[in-house]
């Protein structure tokens, strides 16, 4: 059996709970797998990786003033 290590990204099937007009919605299973960050990454590492991917995206595709991404 394969053992997951803490420094590998995780693929998972998830459920999402929607809320509509501040009312709790039902859980809906997502059909496709979601990729999660490795378990040993702290919030700063996650932000760095997101910034790196964003910078590469801008280099390739540019950026529109109408669409901005903000990571806090």
8 Å CB contact between 35 and 14: no
Query: What is 22-54 written as a DSSP string?
Result: TEEEEEEE-SS-EEE--TT--HHHHHHHHHHHH
Name which residue leads in pLDDT, 3 or 12. 12
Q: What is the pLDDT of residues 16-45, one digit of tens each?
A: 877 766 667 778 888 888 888 888 889 999
8 Å CB contact between 61 and 31: no
Identify the band that residue 55 occupies on the pLDDT scale cut at 50, 70 and 90. very high
């Amino acid at each position: 059996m394969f053992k997951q290590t803490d420094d590998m990204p995780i693929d998972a099937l998830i459920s999402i709970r929607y809320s509509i007009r501040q009312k709790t919605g039902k859980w809906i299973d997502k059909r496709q797998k979601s990729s999660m960050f490795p378990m040993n990454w702290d919030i700063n590492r996650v932000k760095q990786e997101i910034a790196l991917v964003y910078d590469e995206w801008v280099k390739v595709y540019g950026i529109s003033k109408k669409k901005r991404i903000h990571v806090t």
